[in-house]
Amino acid sequence: MDKGSLEKERRRMQLSRRTVLTSMVAAATVPRWSLAGQGRRILVAHYSYMGHTKSVAETLSTVVGGELFEIQMAAPYPLDLERMATQARSELETGKLPPLLGKLPDMSNYDLVLVGGPVWWNTIAPPVMRFLEETDFKGRNVAAFAAYALAPAHYERNFAAQARNASVLPGLMVSEFDISERQADGAISSWVRQVMSGRGPQAL
Ligand SMILES: Cc1cc2nc3c(=O)[nH]c(=O)nc-3n(C[C@H](O)[C@H](O)[C@H](O)COP(=O)(O)O)c2cc1C
């Protein structure tokens, strides 16, 4: 591994260590603004490569009392960031999206579906794209949440275009730095209230 790759790997390990700690704190804390038990059937589906989206998904599922579903790839991306990025970029460019592991949830079991993933190249990461491609959201309220490093860019607009037959509610786009520092709780809380009230669909 050359010096640049080593530095990237070191940073990735640092980020994942921080994420594990953040998730542990999130799991140990029952948010005061819990909205669990409002009688809605909620699914929190998510894909995460480095753990930020996963941490938001776990907080959301605790707060809304939703069921967690992890979107997993049949053959996960390599741990090496450069190889992973090359593969994912080619998937986005060719539209040949990676197969997912196992059976996807039956949407008829839910009233509200929250779908999370990272922003990659200004848009939706391929495993989440694949999840959207394979899912018919007919009659469901659906909202996106995503973690980004710089800007969410076209994520929400692309999500609304890809979520088949969904009634799309406004999304939650959070910076990974806010997630790591636990400064996203306020935004998560007000977003949860908004989607729970079913406001939308949003014109994106
Ligand atoms: C392949 C790749 C592409 C990315 N592209 C963007 C981007 O276009 N804009 C951005 O703000 N962040 C981008 N990021 C940063 C991720 O969105 C950010 O690290 C996010 O927190 C990752 O979420 P996760 O920890 O759930 O995997 C990219 C990261 C990777 C690995």
Distance 80 CA to ligand 1 centre (A): 15
Q: What is the CATH number of domain 3-30+38-196?
A: 3.40.50.360
Q: Cα angle vertex 47, ends 72, 86, to 5°? A: 85
Between the CA atoms of 145, 148, 152 and 157, what dihedral angle is there, to the nearest 10 degrees?
A: -40
pLDDT tens for 180-196 read 988 898 899 889 988 88
Q: Which two tokens stand for residue 40?
A: 């809605």
Q: Give the position, in ligand 1's atom list, of the atom nearest the Cα of 153.
A: 9
The confidence band for 197, taking pLDDT boundaries of 50, 70 and 90, is: confident
Q: How far is CA 40 from CA 94, 112, 132, 141, 197, in A?
A: 38, 7, 22, 11, 11
Residues with CB under 6 Å of ligand 1 are 48-54, 85, 88, 118-122, 147-151, 176
Structure tokens at 17: 């260590």
State the pTM of this model. 0.84
Nearest CA to ligand 1 atom 3: 120
Q: What is the CA radius of gyration of the chain?
A: 16
Q: What residue ranges do the domains of the chain occupy?
A: 3-30+38-196
pLDDT tens-digit profile of 57-108?
Answer: 999 999 888 999 999 999 999 999 999 999 999 999 999 999 999 999 999 9
Q: What is the mean pLDDT of residues 43-58?
A: 97
Q: Give the mean pLDDT of 162-167.
A: 96
Residue 57 Cα to ligand 1 middle (Å): 16
Task: Report the percentage of the chain scoring pLDDT > 90.
Answer: 68
